Chains A and B, each alone.
Chain A
Amino acid sequence: MEQIKKILKDLCDGFSVSGHELYGKEVIEKLAGGIFDEVRTDNLGNFILVKKSNKENAKKLLIDAHFDTVGMMVSQIKDGGFLKFVEVGGLDASVLPSTEVIIHGKEDVYGIITSTPPHLKVAGTGTPKLEDLMIDTGYSKERLEELVWVGAPVCFKNNVDFIYGNNVTSAGLDDKACLCAIFDAVSKMDKDNMAYNVYVTASAQEETGKCGPARASFEIEPDIAIITDVNFAKMEKGEDFESIEMGKGAGIDISSLVDRKLTRSIRELLDSKGINYQIVCEPTRTGTNNDALSISSFGVRTALMSIPLRSMHTPSETVNLGDIKSLSSILLAVATKEEL
């Protein structure tokens, strides 16, 4: 568990607002160092990490988690040190006021998203409009123009906190929790036992709909692929089948867009090894990288796995460390099993 905590902290500290994944290059390279044989990047901004099996003619297994996170970009520089911004990926404007952010300009600039104090607010104005919010940097316009530029990416100022009940809270756990599980699993893979050459994509632009691994798959041409992403965790009790429970293990998704046979054999494998998992149903689309990856290149056989997460796309996403561990064990089991 200590390894998971360490990887997770490093990943969450890496800057990777969607479209700007290469800003986090150092973090990925440092983490991948002892684990992978090769690290490369491509035109879209994907990191492609390779660990080869000692087996001859091993097939190719692609494991994907997206590295990018939701965030913002500066759109206008205004008087008094205020910045107008646009969202990158889907943000909930109702949680933004008073949130602390970092603008990644010539140097990191600290700022606070504006809010109107309750004393001055007209009652019942509801969720603020994104275009009415600004970032307050405290600088003069002149100084600010030297430090940042229109288009500079902005992320939530982040603290990774390990909290009660084996849980962790941080920005960007979507999808760094899964990426963490992948790093943990691959670090434990023994080259002599690996049934596949493993290609991990820490992929770009999931939050902006560009599906990084679908680009990488043209180059890798994987035999099978596993996509890992977070899914909504149950927040209230009740018969709500659209979400999964925290702390009960990773989810295996069933959908018309995953490969039925692959999913079935993975479940059989896990059942035989006594590894716990939950079932998630996404009848039509899954809304993850799975969908576009499945139709990329010549078509890819995919399976989809998920980690339950609370408060998605906010500065305080929460996941259970046990679920990360669970996903890691599942991936480890899959990578050593032939003929899935």
Chain B
Amino acid sequence: MTELIKRLMFTPSVSGREDKIREVIKNEASPYADEITTDPMGNLIVRKKGNGKKIMLCAHMDEIGFFVTFIDDSGNIRVSPVGGVNAISASYGEVVSENGTYGVIVPESSNDVPKWESVYIDIGAKTKKQAEKKVQIGDFFVPVPKFRKLQNQRYVGRPFDDRVGCAILLEALKEVKSDNDLYFVFSVQEEVGGRGSRPAAFGIAPDIGIVLDVTATGDKPGSKPMDVKLGGGCAIKIKDPSTICSPDLVSKMREIATEEGIKFQNEMLLFGGTDAASMQVAGKGVKVGAISIPSAYIHSSCEMIDMVDIKEAVKLTVALSNKL
């Protein structure tokens, strides 16, 4: 599974430009799917048919990054962030464009926390003309993907958010044997505000929606108070500022996890949001819950995850698909 996660991570695709990652996931999913469609916004919808409940399982394909907005006469490239990129982490870091052009992102001043208006990308070009040969306005850059094993079962790199969610859905798709009507949705544009999952949920109109995404942890210095720990098992979301998960679904999820002996934690997140927020208000409304993967340093270039949590998340996803 680490191989799959790594492959997904090394296919850069920022919000609104998910073509490449979609192809990779599609190829991976197609042997196990009854039906695969791509909707107008680009969400990949993989269906496993059944007569039971209609359940939508959702992980987002997109990642944070930058759009090129302007190239000056000396070939310096101005960008606009896509999603909540951590400015401290991105500065003085390597970036790579959609067509494989490498560069560095640099703030104008090294004293302050950089503002996006005052950073630029340097790809080594001497003139505007030279730069334009490699990069067009509207192209995207991402901080260079990384993947490295540390102690225990812990890995550091980027973007784990939310390629781990995609990998978990793919693994679950392979294992699941269920009567329920399952829609595995790989959504677009989550990082810019859950724009993809809402139309996907509107089209599918599921009874239940379950999101797989990363969450923060409370066990690092300076982290906001929360019970979730890295390596403590997958987390069952109760609330974040964008969503109160349906209480009856949450207790059902806990029940099933307990029955199956799956290690889980209670998640009350004090910041951020997921696709669950937008799915909840799609059309007539959807009952939503979320399985979260604890991750430290989210949206930085050194996101950290623990493989133990991911394995538990796969088990829970499969169990919910079968038993809900």
Contact = CB atoms under 8 A, between A and B. Distances in A.
A210 B281 contact: yes
Interface stretch (B73-81, B150-158, B239-247): B239-247
Given A75-B226, A151-B266, A151-B268, A20 B284 contact: no
Interface stretch (A2-10, A42-50, A111-119): A42-50
Interface string B117-152: 000000000000000000000000000000000000
B268 A75 contact: yes
Q: Which of B207, B246, B285 has most chain A Cβ within 10 Å?
A: B285
Given A19-B244, A86-B270, A149-B266, A44 B225 contact: no
B250 A43 contact: no
B247 A215 contact: no
Interface string B262-284: 00001010100000000011011
A56 interface: no
Given A76-B225, A151-B250, A208 B285 contact: no
A46 B285 CA distance: 10
Contact of A215 (B238, B248, B283): B283
Contacts of A22: 247-248
Interface in A24-54: 42-46
Contact of B238 (A45, A73, A216, A219): A73
B200 interface: no
Nearest to B249: A43
Contacts of B227: 75-76, 150
A215 B239 contact: no
Interface string B281-300: 10111110000000000000
A88 interface: yes
Nearest to A150: B266
A215 B244 contact: no
B266 A73 contact: no
A19 B266 contact: no
A137 interface: no
A76 B218 CA distance: 11
Contacts of B246: 43, 45
Given A20-B247, A75-B225, A76-B225, A151 B238 contact: yes
Interface in A111-169: 131, 149-151, 153
Interface string B171-211: 00000000000000000000000000000000000010000
A219 B280 contact: no
Contacts of B268: 73, 75-76, 86, 150-151
Contacts of B270: 75, 86
A258 interface: no
A219 B248 CA distance: 22
Given A18-B244, A19-B247, A150-B227, A214 B238 contact: no
A215 B207 contact: no
Contacts of A150: 227, 238, 266, 268
A158 B280 CA distance: 30
Contact of B244 (A42, A46, A75, A208): A208
B275 to A, nearest CB: 15
Contacts of A231: none
Interface residues of B, number: 21
Contacts of A216: 284
B239 A43 contact: no
A42 B284 contact: yes
A107 to B, nearest CB: 16
Contacts of B226: 75-76
A288 interface: no
Contacts of B239: 19, 73, 86, 88, 151
A18 B247 CA distance: 11
Contact of B285 (A43, A131, A151): A43
Interface in A196-243: 205, 208, 210-212, 214-216, 218-219
Contacts of A149: 266
A325 interface: no
A76 B266 CA distance: 9
B247 to A, nearest CB: 6
B284 A219 contact: yes
A84 interface: yes
Most chain B CB within 10 A, of A43, A76, A131, A211, is at A43
Given A75-B226, A88-B244, A150-B238, A211 B284 contact: no
Contacts of A151: 238-239, 247, 250, 266, 268
Contact of B281 (A84, A131, A215, A219): A215
B238 A43 contact: no
Interface string A53-78: 00000000000000000000101100
Contacts of B287: 43
A95 to B, nearest CB: 21
Contacts of A131: 225
A211 B281 contact: yes
Contacts of A20: 244, 247
Interface of B: 207, 225-227, 238-239, 244, 246-248, 250, 266, 268, 270, 280-281, 283-287
13 contacts: A18-B244, A19-B247, A20-B247, A43-B287, A45-B246, A73-B238, A75-B270, A84-B225, A86-B270, A151-B247, A210-B281, A211-B281, A215-B285
Given A43-B287, A75-B270, 10 more contacts: A20-B247, A42-B284, A44-B285, A73-B268, A76-B268, A86-B239, A150-B238, A150-B268, A151-B247, A216-B284
The 3 closest A-B pairs by CB, nearest first: A19-B244, A151-B238, A215-B285
